[in-house]
Amino acid sequence: MLQFSPGTWRDTGGVPVETRRKTARERWEEAYSKSPERDAEFSTISGIPVKPLYTPEDLGHFDYEEKLGYPGEYPYTRGVYPTMYRGRLWTIRQFAGYGDAEETNKRFRYLLEQGQTGLSVAFDMPTLMGLDSDSPLSLGEVGIEGVAIDSLEDMERLFEGIPMDEITTSMTINAPAMVLLAMYVVAAEKKGIPPEKLGGTNQNDILKEYIAQKEWIYPPGPSMRIFKDMLVYCTRHMPKWNTVSISGYHIREAGSTAVQELAFTLSDGFAYVDAGIEAGLEVDEFAPRFSFFFNSHIDFFEEIAKFRAARRIWANVMKEKYGAKDPRSLRLRFHTQTAGVSLTAQEPYNNIARTAFEALAAILGGTQSLHTNSFDEALALPTEEAVRIAVRTQQIAALETGVTNTIDPLGGSYFVEWLTDEMERQAHEYFRQIEELGGVIPAIEQGFQMREIAEASARYQRELEEGRRHMVNVNIYEPREEQDVEIHRVPPEVGERQVRRLKELKRRRDNRLVRQRLAELKRAAQGNENTMYPILECVRAYATVQEICDTLKEVFGTYRETPVI
């Protein structure tokens, strides 16, 4: 209904007639331009510019089947399982470990009592570096950042009373991954559980160590030989074991953008596929047991787009380039941890809010397994109270918020679909550059990934310092006083007890047998024999992590990188 008013015709909504002749979009643009924007940076945390509005125009020709498909179907953009969380919730899997095996066993039991549904072992720095607790290099580090594991005896203590054939366990271990896996296998064997019944994951991702975390032992070539040996062993004997957890988490924590995390992680994944093929395996024999591990940072939509793009790229390349036929080879399954770098030591309780948002992004992105950081993790390893709140955060998301009721609820959002496409496009650009450099390892040797990450990290730091980006409590709303929080401390006696026990084991075991087993391992490493089998024998004889790693060092040497500045 139109009414007359002086000067112009107006409809009942009060819109001038001349405005009606413009398209709806033009009207909105005009209205938008009339009111000023806030003085803020409208881009993702990784620097992708974000427009005020996304519409179907941003998607162009959008083929639903090609880009999204249905959950559990190629290209898996909407999720890897047909029912997703309506069939089974993600696994609540808190990364945990400190002190010695007994202390960590207690924490595991506590977490399981709180409703955690999977286990995840955090090893201490000496174990990660292939050192024993009694090495002079381990002084002051034993059991501080994770659990100290020196021998099979420790592994047996770690899993005492835990049904290893029922619960899945992740072990974050890379350079010495074979040794710790062998200890896990033999500890289970002693409980009467064969390797084929063991479900879980080894991180075993050495490429991202060279790129980001820097915890390597051997040079890249021999490291890939070790990877292949373990892959072949697991493919033959451990059908339920995820042989590698290809990790973007550490790449992101080192300061990369979301696209770099996506691109470098997936390119590492393809390098492992190449390694499996070089080892003489068929792609569909081993790819179903590859898994991934991503960061969930604080930029909500960018993270969701990253997870969705990751699934689509992996499915696409596995099908088109590697000719994988088994649908399980095409499914990118992943664990997520909320971003450690997004936590603040200032007003640490605010980290509960940060973590909840990040967890939600992981869930809306379709994660299979999730670690939510505890609010005190910018200060120390978490207390029981802090980790309980972290577990409850996941349970509240799963059981109260309703986000699990429907699959990929953000599918079809113009912005999320545009951002998913954009991340995919930019990732392919990185794949091209890596290929031009000769592949992942040559690119690492030329410092390519490290330089890209260092530049991104410096850019972000500059933006923070110039106040162009905000971090509450860090460069805005800085706290006037410190919040008092309880700090979890590992008593120094724990390290001393560990060293005492190790020395006692070295006296008590059959040292002649240990020497013989280590010599056999050395011969296997010098030749082409799969080293996993002699490592299992070393472990059965109670050889230690360092003794085994040192034996391999004699054959493979060690690695020193050319630093990237």
Ligand X SMILES: C[C@H](C(=O)O)C(=O)SCCNC(=O)CCNC(=O)[C@H](O)C(C)(C)COP(=O)(O)OP(=O)(O)OC[C@H]1O[C@@H](n2cnc3c(N)ncnc32)[C@H](O)[C@@H]1OP(=O)(O)O
What tokens does 259 get? 């696209």
From CA 8, how far away is CA 455, in angstroms rounded?
Answer: 57
From CA 222, how far away is CA 224, in angstroms rounded?
Answer: 5
Binding piece for ligand X, criterion CB under 6 A, among 329-337, 348-356, 455-463, 513-521: 329-337
Of the residues 107, 333, 469, 497, which one makes contact with ligand X according to CB under 6 A: 333
Task: Check if the beta carbon of residue 341 is closer than 8 Å to that of residue 253.
Answer: yes
Cβ distance to ligand X smaller for residue 309 or 524: 309
Interaction between residue 314 and ligand X (CB under 6 A): no
What tokens does 505 get? 């084991």
We find the least distance from the C-beta atom of residue 172 to ligand X, in angstroms, to be 4
Binding mask 197-226 for ligand X (x = CB under 6 A): --x-x-x-----------------------
Binding piece for ligand X, criterion CB under 6 A, among 14-22, 259-267, 328-336, 464-472: 328-336
Considering only CA atoms, which of 164, 171, 211, 203 is closest in space to residue 186?
164
We find the least distance from the C-beta atom of residue 200 to ligand X, in angstroms, to be 7
Binding to ligand X, residues 96-135 (CB under 6 A):
118, 120
Binding piece for ligand X, criterion CB under 6 A, among 11-19, 177-185, 330-338, 348-356: 330-338
From CA 158, how far away is CA 497, in angstroms rounded?
Answer: 15
Q: CB-based burial of residue 174 (10 Å sphere; 0-12 exposed, 13-18 middle, 19+ buried)?
A: buried
Of the residues 223, 242, 265, 373, which one makes contact with ligand X according to CB under 6 A: 242
Interaction between residue 95 and ligand X (CB under 6 A): yes
Considering only CA atoms, which of 228, 208, 249, 176 is closest in space to residue 443?
208
Of the residues 249, 294, 300, 418, which one makes contact with ligand X according to CB under 6 A: 249
We find the least distance from the C-beta atom of residue 310 to ligand X, in angstroms, to be 12
We find the least distance from the C-beta atom of residue 420 to ligand X, in angstroms, to be 20
Cβ distance to ligand X smaller for residue 84 or 552: 84
From CA 426, how far away is CA 46, in angstroms rounded?
Answer: 12
From CA 151, how far away is CA 336, in angstroms rounded?
Answer: 29
Interaction between residue 169 and ligand X (CB under 6 A): no
Q: Please, which residues have CB within 8 angstroms of residue 342's CB and are 6 or more apart in sequence?
A: 297, 298, 354, 358
Interaction between residue 382 and ligand X (CB under 6 A): no
From CA 36, how far away is CA 479, in angstroms rounded?
Answer: 30
Binding to ligand X, residues 267-296 (CB under 6 A):
291, 293
We find the least distance from the C-beta atom of residue 197 to ligand X, in angstroms, to be 12
From CA 125, how far away is CA 184, in angstroms rounded?
Answer: 19
Site residues (CB under 6 A) for ligand X?
81, 83-84, 87-88, 91, 93, 95, 118, 120, 168, 170, 172, 199, 201, 203, 240, 242, 245, 249, 291, 293, 333-335, 337, 368-369
